[in-house]
Structure 1
Amino acid sequence: MEVTPAFGGIDWSWQHHAVCIVDDDGARLEEATVAHSKSGLTAISTLLHLRGVRSVGIERGDGPVVEHLIRDGFDVVVISPRQVRSLRSRYGAAGNKDDRFDAFVLADALRTDAGRWSVVHPDTDETIALRMMVRARQDLVAHRVAVHNQLLAVLQHNFPGAVGLFSQLDIPISLAFLRRFPSEQKAHWLVQGGAAARMRHWLTANGYCGRHTPQRLVEHLSAAVQGRTSGPAAQAGEILTLTLVDLLTTIREEQSALETRIKEALLAHPDGLIFQSLPRAGSIRAATLLAEVGDCRARYPDPESLAAAAGVAPSTRQSGKFSHVAFRRGCNANLRAALIDWAQDTPRANVWAADTYQRARARGCRHPHAARILAQAWTRILWRCWTDHTTYDPALHGRLADLTTEAA
């Protein structure tokens, strides 16, 4: 008995999922709403298998629903939310949002336009693990910055002399100083009589290797605006300083330990050498690029698709004599951040990158725009190395660089 082709669509959420199955003529065969749970996902798979569905349309390419469908042998096709909004107009002018209707739109679009969207191929476990650690590190960095700013605000009111004493507020020597002298009153011991001997002894005991002399540091403390020196407010400031110093120390230690694990994972990854070979990539940047680009070559069939996914290629709209080029907002924000962070540093080590960036600035582009132009130019080279499983070689990929520069 010949099985009639059927297509599935799922409008997902973290609470429940709407499922719709249509036949080859677009008629609705099944509609259901199931809870976001293990039994709910099992019910979805059972329903899809019973109706002979092989391909399922959904609005995102990752998450537990996608992973479950892939494990159960379905082809998962991603149709972005913006495309779904446009597709609703096929079935009426109201454009109302309804979960079951969106599931139908996804299923019917898969029936009529399957060739317009690509099937999701999951990354390997090594890449997924690396991505989890890289993004966790980014969260730690964001937390560290937040705590740093909180500590800075406390010191500006209670101990202004500690601000700017060392090159950075959250480096080990600065944190050690604040742990030993958390208030202006306790630091006064260092500057009594204006002698630098006590400061020199403390610096030596704590392994200070900076460029400032003990006398210079004493003068900085002496010249600073006076903060709170006594009373409940000064005591509260000291308590807050010690609390935030301990928190910053812990975050730095955990970040350092996580970075070590990231470097280990990068060295063990089959694609690790490709990304490490890129100029100014180092280890953490290389790991971040690899984690966000992934290892599924089918995800980006050409350099243009990679540039568009990263949001470094402009969005062009043209109709008749009208042409508008705008910033691309719909993209993988993590991939864009990783690509631009790396690309904007490459002019320091690559003559072609420096020339591409300077030419963009000479045309009147501000730094963020010029950095995106450079990142777009690098995507052609990065894509070629990634696709060919080869490390970056200026001699081998020089022609690609020349072509990209001409296009820029």
Structure 2
Amino acid sequence: MKHYCGIDWASDHHDISIVNESGKKVNKFRIDDDLNGYHTLSNTLKSFEVEIPIAIEAKDNLLINFLIAEGYEVYSINPKSAERYKDRYNVAGNKTDEIDSFALADMLRTDMHKYRPLEYSSEEIRKLKILCGEYSKLMKDKNMLESQLYDVLSKYYPIALTLFSSYNCKTLYKLILKYSTYEELRKVSYEDLEKFLKENRYRKAHYIKKVYNKIQGNDYYALAIFDETFSHTARALVKMLLILEAEIKEIKNKMTEITTTHTLGTIFYSLPGSGEILAPKLLSIMGDNKKVYLSSSEIQAYSGVAPVTKRSGKSSRVKFRFACNKEYRNTLTTFAFCSLNWSPWARGYYDKSRQKGKRHYESLRLLAYKWTRIIFKLWQTGELYSEEYHTKNLERFSKNILKIA
């Protein structure tokens, strides 16, 4: 007799329900979120002496990794789908962990044919996916800290923002650590400033003189109370930024190393405008397991570059897709934007979309939709991207359309 397992997972424990093919609950129990709990679950499932598929409202955690390593088929159920399914037999809206785990098991019993078991790429790709995610998070933190530093400096140390070409360069950070107030900076001698700038790769005499004259020639208004308070915040922000930049650089190097050594890496580096950041991110999205995506439409829907169409009777609406992997959408639309300067057909497609009245970001999503088809085909065949080959295909397709018309 077939059996099905549902897991309602939490941070410190997991509720398990097992049902048979007629929908009767044959076992229920709770395990702790540790190795002993995982083995208890595995041993219980093995006691039925049949293969038991497992449903859970998650895609990647330690429990799922353990179950897949043990050889179980694990199905990731969208929480929204599970919530709608529970309404079929729980009209009153009662909610307990036991009810949730039972609903997942029963959902697998009735609708398993609508889902696919989780498929993972190689360990290297999974590592790359994590690195890309952490890179994006740290970059957001870095941008946030840079904005905070700009705000603090504009309040008590505005001249520091005008000395260099950018307010987020390392030379400015080191300047703030060494001369954290305008009073300290104004007292510095030309020789000391020259030494400091040359140590930070500013060696041209006319530039050093320009910076020195700017410091000495401007009498910025400064309050001692501001210097004594905001200087602590500025130094703290700079120290955090320097630590972040070092970690971001290390993560970036690891991303590049994995992508350049992977057999599929050259495909993504061949894409116009991909570069050293987007190529690893695109590889992490696609992976190296060809069972993960069966068609380009799956990637388009999951990443949110494909819209949602709602039809009923004579009405039809095309809406923006909110339920998606937003990190994937950001990667694909960013790549579409970067391709504009490197791919003539991409630039032409974007310009035509804008001429039709589409907004900038909407046009990028449409272009990302097109690029996803190309990337999927290259990923399947293992071929490198060729702008000339793709342009000829577009011309041939246009001629065929004209013949049909």
**Structure 2-normalised TM-score?**
0.89
Deviation of the 1:82 alpha carbon: 1.4
**Matched residue, 2:15:** 18
CA separation in 2, counterparts of 1:235 and 1:326?
Answer: 53
Paired residues for 1:158-237 under 5 Å = 158-189=156-187, 203-208=197-202, 213-214=207-208, 216-217=210-211, 221=215, 226-230=220-224, 232-237=225-230
How far is 1:133 from its partner? Answer: 2.0
State the match for 2:326 in structure 1. Answer: 333
Question: Is this contact kept in 2: 1:8–1:106, CA < 8 A?
Answer: yes
Of 38, 41, 47 in structure 2, the residue corresponding to residue 41 of structure 1 is 38
1:95 Cα deviation from its structure 2 partner: 4.0
Identity rate of aligned residues, in percent?
Answer: 27
Pairing partner for 2:138 from 137, 140, 146? 140
- 2:343–2:387 contact (8 Å) kept in structure 1: no
Cα deviation, 1:101-122, whole Å, max 9, x if unaligned, reads 2222222222222221111112
Aligned partners of 1:98 and 1:224: how far apart in 2? Answer: 68
How far did residue 399 of structure 1 move?
6.3
Kindly report which structure 2 residues correspond to 1:280-299, keeping only aligned pairs within 5 A, or say none. Answer: 280-299=273-292
| Greater mean alpha carbon deviation, residues 316-325 or residues 237-246 | 237-246
Alpha-carbon deviation of 1:253? Answer: 2.2
Residue identity in the other structure for 1:375: A
Partner of 2:3: 6
In structure 2, stretches of 5+ residues that fail to align are none
Q: Secondary structure at the match of 1:345?
A: helix
Q: Give, in angstroms, the shift of residue 241 of structure 1.
A: 2.8
The change in CA–CA distance for 1:5 and 1:154 in structure 2 (over 3 A counts) is: same
Per the TM alignment, residue 219 of structure 1 is displaced from its structure 2 partner at its CA by 6.2
CA contact (8 A) 1:15 1:36 kept: yes
- C-alpha distance after superposition, 1:67-124 (max 9, x if no partner): 1111111111122111112212322433443322222222222222222111111221
Q: CA separation of 1:187/1:352 partners in 2, compared to 1, >3 Å: closer, same or farther? A: same
The residue type equivalent to 1:226 in the other structure is: Y
Alpha-carbon distance in 2 for matches of 1:250, 1:69: 37
CA distance in 2 between partners of 1:401 and 1:178 (Å): 55
Q: 1:7 is paired with a residue of what secondary structure?
A: strand
Structure-2 change in CA distance of 1:222 and 1:310 (3 Å): farther
Contact 1:292 1:338 in 2 (8 A): no
Does residue 27 in structure 1 map to residue 24 in structure 2?
yes
Q: In structure 2, do the counterparts of structure 1 residues 225 and 278 end up closer, same or farther at CA, with 3 Å as the change threshold?
A: farther
1: CA distance between counterparts of 2:203 and 2:374? 41
SS at match of 1:256: helix
In the alignment, which residue of structure 1 is the partner of 2:317?
Answer: 324
Q: Deviations over 1:101-158 (max 9, x none)?
A: 2222222222222221111112211011112222222232222222222222221121
Count of residue pairs the alignment pairs up: 398
Residue 253 of structure 1 aligns with which residue?
A: 246
- Measure the CA separation in 1 of the matches of 2:165 and 2:204: 9
- Please point out which of 82, 85, 99 is paired with 2:83: 85
Matched, 1:349 2:342: yes
Q: Decide which of 121, 124, 127 is 1:123's aligned counterpart.
A: 121
- Which residue is 1:372 aligned to? 365
1:401 to partner: Cα distance:
5.9
Alignment pair present for 1:311 and 2:308: no
Distance 1:225 1:272 in 2: 55
- How far residue 350 of structure 1 moved from its aligned partner, in angstroms, is 0.6
C-alpha contact 1:263 1:287 (8 A) present in aligned 2: yes
C-alpha separation in 1, matches of 2:392 and 2:99: 50
Change (3 A) 1:366 1:218: farther
| Helix, strand or coil at the partner of 1:163 | helix
> How far off is 1:215 after superposition?
5.7
1:274–1:386 Cα contact (<8 Å) kept: yes
* Paired letter, 1:133: L
Question: Is 1:389 aligned with 2:387?
Answer: no
Secondary structure at the counterpart of residue 53 of structure 2? strand
What corresponds to 1:241 in structure 2? Answer: 234
Letter aligned with residue 153 of structure 1: D
Write out per-residue CA displacement over residues 218-250 of structure 1, whole angstroms, 9 at most, x where no aligned residue. 5655687834353x4313333333333233222
Deviations 1:32-60 (A, max 9, x none): 22222222222221222223243112222
| 2:10 alignment partner AA | S
CA separation of 1:210 and 1:69: change in aligned 2, threshold 3 A: farther
Stretch of structure 1 that moved more, 357-366 or 55-64: 357-366
1:98-113 aligned within 5 A: 98-113=96-111
For 2:212 and 2:337, how far apart are their aligned partners in 1?
Answer: 39
Q: 2:52 aligns with which of 51, 54, 73?
A: 54
Report the Cα distance in structure 2 between the residues aligned to 1:210 and 1:319, rounded to whole angstroms. 70
Output the amino acid matched with 1:254.
E
TM-aligned CA distance change 1:212 to 1:296, over 3 Å: farther
**Segment of structure 1 superposing worse, 217-226 or 26-35:** 217-226
Residue identity in the other structure for 2:256: K
In 2, distance between residues paired with 1:400 and 1:101?
Answer: 54
> Larger deviation: 164-173 or 343-352?
164-173
**1:185 and 1:229 in contact (8 A); partners too:** no
Q: CA deviation at 1:349?
A: 0.7
Q: Which amino acid is 1:91 matched to? A: Y
